């Protein structure tokens, strides 16, 4: 009895409130496994809805994996080095590699690694990619050519709203988002919620320096293809215009159409058909 009392006196646990726990868990994995789960418990026939809910999460996860895997495999299949290897072997190697990398999220510190990837893999890197893509289309390729391409394909010419958005509003908004994100990261060092077992609660701590180095590497990995391809083409180390997939070459060699995609005659016939 004395030992139990002494051990209990060392804990400074506050009152446990379900509302407080739900408020603090309303983000990340806690949103799916705590908040939604508590809402399902309140429904009639909770076991049935719980099975349906987690089957939905499983289906969403598998669907996302298939989409991401197809995106990676299409790029790998178009590289000349891998064209002689059978596609099932390449697919198996990619899946095995992703599986081994994903094991880090199943360790005791998996929640922290998940938080790290969620915070840095899809934030500043994607903003920079979107900004450079917009600059390439609007200012390098030319907004007039882009507008003409849309008109040729759809028969509709984007009006002044889209012109102003593409040329002025979108670049300005992207620059503001990028600068604000970088300033926020510099002024406020990123933190993560660390679990304190003695108190039964989480405590916000700063990421160690080596973790911040990993975060920077994660950001640079997403940006690396842009300068890499630019340098390869600038110094003519890689002829991207020549390295086209053989299937595309066969389709190009069939016949070349000299008719416009959508001309005035097509538009007139379409209008008469609707009339």
Q: Is 60 annotated as a binding residue?
A: yes
Which pLDDT tens digit goes with each residue over 119-163? 888 778 888 888 888 898 988 898 889 999 999 998 888 889 998
d(CA 232, CA 223): 15
3-state secondary structure of 220: helix
Helices (H) and strands (E) in the chain, counts: 15, 2
pTM of the entire predicted model: 0.63
Nearest to 174 by CA among 209, 210, 136, 228: 136
The domain ranges of the chain are 110-237
CB–CB of 105/114 below 8 Å?
yes
Residue 10 to residues 3, 5, 7, 16, Cα–Cα distance (Å): 11, 9, 5, 17
Q: Is 64 annotated as a binding residue?
A: yes
All residues at 6 or more sequence positions from 241 whose CB lies less than 8 Å from its CB, including other chains: none
Sign of dihedral through CA atoms 233, 238, 240, 241? positive
Nearest to 78 by CA among 228, 231, 248, 236: 248
**If you search the block for the tokens 């880090």, which residue do you land on?**
104
User: What pLDDT, on a 0 to 100 scale, did the predictor assign at position 176?
Assistant: 92
d(CA 33, CA 186): 32
Who has greater pLDDT, 34 or 95? 95
d(CA 36, CA 30): 9
Which pLDDT tens digit goes with each residue over 9-36? 555 555 666 566 656 655 666 666 777 7
Nearest to 147 by CA among 130, 131, 160: 160
The pLDDT of 228-248, averaged and rounded, is 64
The model's confidence at residue 41, banded by pLDDT at 50, 70 and 90, is confident
User: What pLDDT, on a 0 to 100 scale, did the predictor assign at position 169?
Assistant: 92
CA 168 vs. chain centroid, Å, equals 25
d(CA 8, CA 2): 10
CA 136 vs. chain centroid, Å, equals 20
Residue 251 exposure: Cα atoms within 13 Å on the Cβ side: 5
Number of residues that this document lists for the chain: 275
3-state secondary structure of 42: coil
């Amino acid at each position: 009895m004395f030992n139990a009392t002494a051990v209990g006196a060392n804990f400074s646990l506050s009152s446990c409130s379900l509302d407080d726990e739900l408020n603090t868990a309303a983000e990340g994995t806690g949103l799916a496994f705590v908040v939604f789960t508590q809402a399902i418990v309140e429904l009639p026939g909770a076991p049935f809805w719980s099975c349906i809910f987690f089957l939905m999460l499983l289906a969403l996860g598998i669907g996302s994996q298939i989409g991401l895997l197809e995106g990676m495999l299409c790029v790998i299949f178009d590289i000349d080095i891998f064209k002689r290897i059978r596609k099932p072997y390449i697919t198996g190697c990619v899946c095995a590699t992703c599986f081994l990398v994903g094991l880090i999220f199943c360790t005791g510190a998996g929640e922290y690694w998940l938080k790290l990837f969620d915070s840095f893999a899809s934030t500043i890197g994607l903003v920079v990619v979107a900004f450079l893509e917009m600059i390439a289309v609007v200012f390098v390729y030319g907004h007039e050519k882009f507008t003409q391409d849309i008109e040729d394909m759809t028969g509709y010419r984007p009006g002044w709203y889209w012109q102003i958005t593409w040329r002025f509003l979108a670049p300005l908004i992207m620059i503001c988002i990028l600068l604000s994100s970088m300033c926020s990261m510099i002024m406020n060092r990123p933190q993560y919620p660390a679990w304190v077992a003695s108190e039964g609660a989480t405590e916000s701590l700063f990421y160690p320096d080596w973790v911040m180095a990993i975060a920077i590497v994660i950001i640079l990995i997403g940006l690396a293809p842009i300068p890499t391809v630019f340098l390869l083409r600038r110094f003519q180390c890689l002829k991207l215009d020549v390295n086209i997939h053989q299937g595309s070459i066969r389709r190009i060699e069939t016949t070349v159409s000299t008719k416009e995609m959508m001309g005035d005659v097509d538009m007139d016939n379409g209008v008469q058909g609707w009339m």
